[in-house]
Amino acid sequence: MEQMRKVVFLGTLLLFISFANVFVSNRESVTIYKSSLEQDYKYWSRLVNIEPTYRDGYVILAQIERQRGNTASADRYAAIARAIEDGSVYGKNVLGTKTEEK
């Protein structure tokens, strides 16, 4: 009977540890993901500040801002990218403008 209690206790302990490990690792991955988006945002913002006509930089910033949930900022970056190369097939396909080809 004593051995059975030890087995149940150890089984319960291992189950608790595995659940705690899953919870902690999920929190760490979310933190790393957010941190990575922050770093990416800083990198690309510096890049477009250095080269303000770099369209792809604004496209990437728009994508990063959408992932961060900042839709107004994402729309602003997408508009800047469109203005740099207005009417291009790239702008229509990647940035989501649905205008007809001429």
Q: Is 55 within 8 Å of 85 (Cβ atoms)?
A: yes
pLDDT given for residue 92 in this prediction:
57
Q: How confident is the model at residue 88 (pLDDT cuts 50, 70, 90)?
A: low
Contacts 24+ apart (CB under 8 A), 4-7: none
85 or 44, which is more confident?
44
pLDDT in tens, 26-78: 555 555 556 788 899 999 999 999 998 888 899 999 999 999 899 999 999 99
- What residue ranges do the domains of the chain occupy? 34-93
The per-residue pLDDT for 4 is: 77
- For domain 34-93, the question of CATH label 3.30.70.60 is answered with no
Of 5-9, 10-14, 34-38, 67-71, the one with minimum mean pLDDT is 10-14
